[in-house]
Amino acid sequence: FGNTRGLDLRLDRRFGTIFNGSLAYSFQDARNTGSDPFSFINFGSRIISGLGGVNAPPPQSAQPVGTSRPHNLAGQAAFNFPADYKQGSVVGAILKRVGIFSTLRYASGTPYTRCSPDDIGSVNVTNGNPCARELAGDFNAARLPSFKEFNLRVTKGFSVGKLDFTAYMDGRNILNLKNIGTVFTTTGSTVNPKSQELAFTADSSTFATFFRANPGSYDATTGDITLPGSNAACGNYQDASGNSAAPTCYYYRKSEQRFGNGDGIYTLAEQRRASDNNRLATYHISRFAFAGRIVRFGMEVNF
């Protein structure tokens, strides 16, 4: 969708019968007024313009499309050692019928649109999703970090009787490079302190509401919560509506023991640890990064 201009270069090289490889580079400039025909309807039309306070008009100039990667470098190399390689030598015995295959890739990060840090409605928005109210710059003006990967596969062939075996090690992202595919659009990174603060504020308010309904449990000055000394003592606890809430009391006792020191005083620091742990799926790096190193071992048998 749109216009793409660029340049491709490729170098192929072979040395004897053992090695062959290639290296390719491309530069491309891919732009349009949207990444697809519905970009403005699904994204831009919801944004309020800073001039006049009305919906922002469609883009008037071409911007990078969402799949644009200006710089791309890719390579592959293969070593294939024949069965008669340096016969009679130790090196030959080790390397005969060995195959080594590798691929590498470097690519510019894809573009995305930043949301204003002052836009509370966008505090949890990640790239590819529309901002709530305000942009921070032009459409697709920011980019994710570059993508880097190196893959390696090693094989070794041998025979046992009439059977031919090929053992292999297949490693993807063998260098365990961290590739970021998702960021918070208000910070441009995988970390968003404001989001975590708002989440804890909501959780802390829930804690306080529950324990205020149970006199002597909540310290409004420090935010500390004094928990009952036993599970049996939870039988008298109730929620803000006056309903029995013994299971909730038990839950908080176990939470303080797990995320605190188990002294029965649920401090704000312990409450914060519990709140952050409850949102690991929101803030953990696994949500933002592509897969790390993956290595497989296997054996192929030919009859």
How large a percentage of the chain has pLDDT more than 70? 96
Average pLDDT, stretch 287-303?
93
Beta bridge partners of 29: 5
pLDDT value at 209 more than 60: yes
Residue 64 predicted with pLDDT over 60:
yes
Cα 123-288-202 angle, rounded to 5 deg: 35
Cα 72 to Cα 8: distance, rounded to the nearest angstrom: 9
Distance, CA of 110 to CA of 117 (rounded, Å): 21
pTM, to two decimals? 0.80
Burial zone of 26 (CB within 10 Å; 0-12 exposed, 13-18 middle, 19+ buried) = middle
Tens-digit pLDDT profile for residues 21-45? 999 999 999 988 878 877 777 776 6
What digits encode the pLDDT tens for the residues 147-205? 999 999 999 999 888 889 999 999 999 999 999 999 999 999 999 999 999 999 999 99
